[in-house]
Amino acid sequence: MTAECCGYPISIFFIVVNEFCERFSYYGMRAVLVLYFRYFLLWDDDLATSIYHAFVALCYLTPILGAIIADSWLGKFKTIIYLSIVYAIGQVTMAISTIHDITDANRDGTPDNFTFHIALSMLGLILIALGTGGIKPCVAAFGGDQFQEHQSRQLNTFFSVFYLCINAGSLLSTLITPVLRAQECGIHTQQQCYPLAFGVPAVLMVISLVVFIAGSGMYVKTDPEGNIMWSVCKCIGFAIKNRFRHRSSSYPKREHWMDWANEKYDKLLIAQIKMVLKVLFLYIPLPMFWTLFDQKGSRWTLQATTMSGDFVSILISTVNPILILTLVPIMDRLIFPLIQKCGLNFSPLKRMTVGMLFAAMAFVSAALVQIEIDKTLPNFPSSSESQLKVVNTYSTTLNVTISPNEHLLIESFGVQLHTSKHTYSTISCMFVNDFSLIHGEQWCEFSRKFGFGASYTFLIPSTVFSDDCESITEVEDMKPNSVHMALQIPQYFLITTGEVMFSVTGLQFSYSQAPKNMKSVLQAGWLCTNAVGNIIVLIVAELGKLPKQWAEYLLFASLLVAVSIIFSIMAYFYTYIDPAEIEAQVRKEQGLEPEEMEKETLEMEEKDEDQKNEQGVKQTKI
């Protein structure tokens, strides 16, 4: 009997606090990672972005490793502890790699040995990816394990609270770590404080581990049942081989292709594999959702830069977790109960389908915003066109004749501009608020706010050469971005509503449909759909894009609608199961008590080890 509070096992308190600290650690570190690559290691944009994405992809590929370790070898509890230690060591290594004083022998404020810092930070990142990805499928499944059969309602609420903690942790850290980086610190010279920005996530990871260990005495711990993954692979391999051997029509058909393993493998194992495969098959279309979801951080961010408003980075990094924190309780307490009261069966797979449709709508909204933006953007000359600006500073009309081969454009970028008679210049200013022109002998200081995306020409009269700054006239060549960023809110709202329906439900579904000994494996399968979605985004970004951005958004929306139709058909044929019930039924059919069953499984495995040669297979077949 586990200790309870308000119907919930007390142990889950430690698990959700652990998740909060871990996500704080992960997202906090991620928020300053590209800045560290760019401004500390001095990598260019391309290298910094590629390594960042490779790291994120790795974080979503390692769950399968953690799940195998947990379900086949160490069990979830020990796997979480060991991999959290690896994770914390990774975070500390990463924080140490950002201390410039370690190699700054000449005390000029920059590291002297970049190889040292790069090697240390790469080691740190690999350990972090192993840790964060490895524990991810185990923590959610371990949380689920704390509930007993009569607590199914609380179990669903747990997954929502778990998701809230993920987003509360990520929200706080995304706000805090960039501020920490902006501080100055150092032993010999004062520099931007990366050690603090990476150090705080490292401390949070240690706290996360301590909190998890503190709950040790209260957890329900399930031991792994031998090397289950190896048994699963061998059983599937045998079923395929056996099916192939009996391909002739003279052999009677079997209900399921896995039944071809009946001759050699335990019925319970076969039943469990069938459950897992059924769910994994259902997951095939799911990466498409993440393909759209993950473009929040890329295409939508770029879209925001062509809009007006000053809160770009804050909006982008915090709007998703803020909406999650608002929408999860609204959905759980209001919308879902209301739908249920109306007599509608809003089953998990239906919720996930609706979630996909919301994501598709978000992209339609993004396309509409893009059309509005496109209306306001200037037309730039294409590779086969030229654009010419003629600045007439005389009071009368001038006739201009241009020879087709002559290049007339004289352009000067920057804030200091020297002018001479008969010369005119165009100043392209972006994000510059103060600048000065040397006009005659005098510096003319300007202080004005330039709109994002605007282009200005400053006309310095060539006829009058005096110290008169007033005579400089300003022409706005391109208007500042005028479509406000607030217009992106509907698309963020729609995609986050989709996330709540899709992702929170997917988390619950993956747990509830998995057999007891493969809970982490199915969680890892679920997380893998995210990894595949991320990889699709990378491929799409490499392959290039449609000439019109709005058309690309609509294409993605249509693809997701098509995928959600396929998914809803697959879901229609899916029958929800209670894995515990099926397991009990198989045991009953075999006339075995649970303990006897486990004994038999072990015996089967031992026998299996002995039957390595073909002869053995043939004998069991007879």
Ligand X SMILES: CC(C)C[C@H](NC(=O)[C@@H](N)Cc1ccccc1)C(=O)O
List residues binding ligand X (CB under 6 A). Answer: 23, 27, 166-167, 170, 174, 317, 320-321, 324, 499, 503, 530
- How many angstroms separate the CA atoms of 141 and 516, rounded? 10
Place of tokens 């709508």: 361
Please name every residue paired with 475 in a beta bridge, in sequence order, or none if there are none: 457
**Cβ distance to ligand X smaller for residue 320 or 426:** 320
CB of 506 to ligand X, least distance (A): 8
**Cβ distance to ligand X smaller for residue 261 or 324:** 324
Q: Which two tokens stand for residue 534?
A: 């991320």
**Cβ distance to ligand X smaller for residue 119 or 314:** 314
- Phi, psi dihedral angles at 25 (to 5 degrees): -60, -50
**Cβ distance to ligand X smaller for residue 27 or 424:** 27
**Cβ distance to ligand X smaller for residue 170 or 549:** 170
Residue in 290, 292, 309 with CA at minimum distance from that of residue 365? 292
Q: Own/partner pairs for 308-314, CB < 8 Å, 24+ apart?
A: 308/451, 308/452, 308/453, 308/480, 308/481, 308/482, 308/483, 308/484, 308/485, 309/484, 309/485, 309/486, 311/485, 312/485, 313/178, 314/175
Closest residue to ligand X: CB criterion: 170
Classify residue 476 by its DSSP letter: E
Residue in 490, 493, 499 with CA at minimum distance from that of residue 355? 499
Alpha-helix runs per DSSP H in 111-252: 114-145, 152-182, 194-214, 228-245
**Cβ distance to ligand X smaller for residue 238 or 293:** 293
CB of 75 to ligand X, least distance (A): 22
CB contact at 8 A, 328 and 600: no
CB of 324 to ligand X, least distance (A): 5
CB of 529 to ligand X, least distance (A): 9
**Cβ distance to ligand X smaller for residue 232 or 327:** 327
CB contact at 8 A, 549 and 299: yes
CB of 555 to ligand X, least distance (A): 23
CB of 293 to ligand X, least distance (A): 8
CB contact at 8 A, 589 and 262: no
Secondary structure (3-state) at 401: coil
- Phi, psi dihedral angles at 377 (to 5 degrees): -80, 145
**Cβ distance to ligand X smaller for residue 142 or 238:** 142
**Cβ distance to ligand X smaller for residue 11 or 503:** 503
CB of 172 to ligand X, least distance (A): 11
**Cβ distance to ligand X smaller for residue 377 or 536:** 536
CB of 19 to ligand X, least distance (A): 8
**Cβ distance to ligand X smaller for residue 425 or 503:** 503
Q: Which two tokens stand for residue 344?
A: 């509608």
CB of 502 to ligand X, least distance (A): 9
- How many angstroms separate the CA atoms of 546 and 49, rounded? 22
Q: Which two tokens stand for residue 275?
A: 């459950």
- How many angstroms separate the CA atoms of 214 and 208, rounded? 10
CB of 63 to ligand X, least distance (A): 10
Q: Which two tokens stand for residue 533?
A: 């979605």
**Cβ distance to ligand X smaller for residue 27 or 37:** 27
Secondary structure (3-state) at 75: helix
* C-alpha distances in Å from residue 153, one per residue of 2, 157, 269: 17, 7, 28
The residue type at 433? N
CB of 140 to ligand X, least distance (A): 9
CB of 320 to ligand X, least distance (A): 4
**Cβ distance to ligand X smaller for residue 171 or 273:** 171
CB of 27 to ligand X, least distance (A): 6
CB of 290 to ligand X, least distance (A): 7
Please name every residue paired with 4 in a beta bridge, in sequence order, or none if there are none: 9
CB contact at 8 A, 131 and 123: no
CB of 22 to ligand X, least distance (A): 9
The DSSP-derived string for 571-611 is HHT-----HHHHHHHHHHHTT--HHHHHHHHHHHHHHHHH-
Give Cβ neighbours of residue 275 (< 8 Å, ≥ 6 apart).
513, 514, 515, 577, 579, 582
Classify 445 in phi/psi space as left (phi over 0), alpha (psi -120 to 50) or beta: beta
CB contact at 8 A, 17 and 23: no
Alpha-helix runs per DSSP H in 62-151: 63-69, 75-97, 114-145
Residue in 481, 300, 238 with CA at minimum distance from that of residue 374? 481
Secondary structure (3-state) at 437: strand
CB contact at 8 A, 462 and 424: yes
**Cβ distance to ligand X smaller for residue 22 or 608:** 22
The residue type at 143? G
CB contact at 8 A, 541 and 298: yes
**Cβ distance to ligand X smaller for residue 232 or 323:** 323
